[in-house]
Amino acid sequence: MHLILFFLFAGFCLAGAINLLLQSHPITSALSLIVVMTSLAVLYLLLGAEFLAIAQVIVYAGAIMVLFTFVVMLLNAGREERTMGSRSARAVGFPAVVAILAVIATVILKAQGLGVATLGEGLTDASGKTNIEELSSVLFTQLLLPFEVTSILILIAILGAVALARHGSGEPQGNRERTGK
Amino acid sequence: MNSIFSQEVPLSWYLLLSAALFSLGVVGFLIKRNLITVFMSIELMLNGVNLSFVTFAHQWHAVKGQIFVFFVMTVAAAEAAVGLAIIIAVFRARATLAVDRIDLMKL
């Protein structure tokens, strides 16, 4: 059962990722990315990370992708033009990607001591705490400071996003008057 | 792997999937010519790395790996908000999203 679910959703993941690359319209790419992220949530669930599966659906597949589709529609992004782009980036990039993937795959396949994932085996410890209990107790005791720093980061990001996207910001004065008419 | 109904999946397969997702993200970063799609490829790479974090958290029974993924998600959300705001500002200044035409830092 676990194997079937793994193959099904790993297949969805890879198909969505490849579709993201093949589609020329940004909105189709965004929808494929939603497929990838939702399938990853199921894989997290198979690995016993319930909280992350929910967070993946809410934060990634929900919030972030809504932002993406919103921007695609706001900017009325059409089909992308197929240009060759930077030839040196391709000449160096593709062999580099293949080499990195080959190295990582070799290391993973040769690694000893990697276990197996068993369905239903969460991160419950000996005292029977569930994954979410364990996660929250570590997050709010040992890692409280990073957690609070993250909230400041998000505050700064909100202010930065508002300042950047506000109408007229980032344009020189003369340019703004020209486009304003 | 004795049967298709096996309850066990080797963790290396999850790691291979995560490496494949990361590589596809890099390829997308190189071949896509639309600013928004390039940004989506970066999100794909982040997701690939997150999967390997969760896999290793399962392997070592360490909950801190999952907490790291939680932080990555938070940073990714902040990054998406700021990045898309930058894309909107660039689009206002240049009226294009093609990365080939956005070749000057100066607006």
Q: What is the ipTM of this complex?
A: 0.89
Contacts of A93 in chain B (CB under 8 A): 26-27, 30
Does residue A111 lie within any of the structural domains?
Answer: no
Does residue B99 lie within any of the structural domains?
Answer: no
- Residue-averaged pLDDT of chain B: 87
pLDDT digit string (tens) for A20-57? 999 889 999 999 999 999 999 999 998 888 899 999 99
pLDDT digit string (tens) for B79-90? 999 999 999 988
Could you list the residue range(s) of the whole structural domain that residue A38 is in? 1-79+117-124
Which of A13, A30, A171 is the closest to B17 by Cβ? Answer: A13
Count up the domains in chain B and report the number.
Answer: 1
Contacts of A3 in chain B (CB under 8 A): 1, 4-9
Contacts of B60 (CB under 8 A, 6+ apart): none
pLDDT category of residue A120 using cuts at 50, 70 and 90 = low
Does residue B103 lie within any of the structural domains?
Answer: no
pLDDT (0 to 100) of residue B33 = 85
Which tokens sit at A78? 């059409």
Contacts of A4 in chain B (CB under 8 A): 4-5
Contacts of B27 in chain A (CB under 8 A): 21, 93-94, 97
pLDDT category of residue A168 using cuts at 50, 70 and 90 = low
Inform me whether the pLDDT recorded for A79 exceeds 90.
no
Do the chains contact at A74 and B27, CB–CB below 8 Å?
no
| Residue A55 touches partner B, C-beta closer than 8 Å | yes
Which of A10, A21, A89 is the closest to B24 by Cβ? Answer: A21
Instruction: Pick the closest to residue A6 from B78, B67, B31, B4 (CA basis).
Output: B4
| Residue A60 touches partner B, C-beta closer than 8 Å | yes
Whole-angstrom distance, CA of residue A47 vs CA of residue B81: 29
Is the distance from CB of B74 to CB of A153 less than 8 angstroms? yes
pLDDT category of residue A86 using cuts at 50, 70 and 90 = low
Do the chains contact at A4 and B26, CB–CB below 8 Å?
no
**Mean pLDDT computed over A133-148:** 91
Does residue A135 lie within any of the structural domains?
Answer: no
Q: Which amino acid is at A10?
A: A
The CATH number of whichever domain residue B18 belongs to comes to 1.10.287.3510
| Residue A106 touches partner B, C-beta closer than 8 Å | no
Inform me whether the pLDDT recorded for A112 exceeds 90.
no
pLDDT category of residue A94 using cuts at 50, 70 and 90 = confident
Out of A40-44, A134-138, B19-23, least confident range: A134-138
Residue A146: exposure state from Cβ atoms within 10 A (0-12, 13-18, ≥19): middle
Inform me whether the pLDDT recorded for A177 exceeds 60.
no
pLDDT category of residue A178 using cuts at 50, 70 and 90 = very low
Inform me whether the pLDDT recorded for A64 exceeds 90.
yes
Which of B14, B34, B80 is the closest to A47 by Cβ? Answer: B14
Out of A121-130, B55-64, B80-89, least confident range: A121-130
- Residue-averaged pLDDT of chain A: 84
Contacts of A172 in chain B (CB under 8 A): 107
Could you list the residue range(s) of the whole structural domain that residue B76 is in? 11-94
Inform me whether the pLDDT recorded for B42 exceeds 90.
yes
Which of B28, B70, B84 is the closest to A52 by Cβ? Answer: B70
**Mean pLDDT computed over B9-29:** 91
Does residue B106 lie within any of the structural domains?
Answer: no
Q: Report the residue of B42, B63, B86 to disrupt the A interface, i.e. the one with the largest count of A CBs within 10 Å.
A: B63
pLDDT (0 to 100) of residue A174 = 46
Handedness of CA B29, A14, A67, A63 (dihedral sign): negative
Which of A20, A51, A162 is the closest to B28 by Cβ? Answer: A20
Does residue A41 lie within any of the structural domains?
Answer: yes
Inform me whether the pLDDT recorded for B41 exceeds 60.
yes
Does residue A107 lie within any of the structural domains?
Answer: no
Assign residue A113 a region (left: φ > 0; alpha: ψ between -120 and 50; beta: otherwise). left
pLDDT (0 to 100) of residue B99 = 82
* B88 to chain A: closest CA residue: A165
**Mean pLDDT computed over B12-34:** 91
**Mean pLDDT computed over B13-27:** 93
The CATH number of whichever domain residue A39 belongs to comes to 1.20.120.1200
Count up the domains in chain A and report the number.
Answer: 1
Does residue B38 lie within any of the structural domains?
Answer: yes
Is the distance from CB of B99 to CB of A179 less than 8 angstroms? no
**Mean pLDDT computed over B19-43:** 91
Inform me whether the pLDDT recorded for A114 exceeds 90.
no
Is the distance from CB of B36 to CB of A77 less than 8 angstroms? yes
What percent of chain B has a predicted confidence (pLDDT) above 90?
A: 51
Contacts of A33 (CB under 8 A, 6+ apart): A16, A20, A65, A68, B40, B43, B44
Helices (H), ranges, A130-172: 131-141, 144-165
pLDDT (0 to 100) of residue A179 = 47
Contacts of A59 in chain B (CB under 8 A): 73-74, 76-77
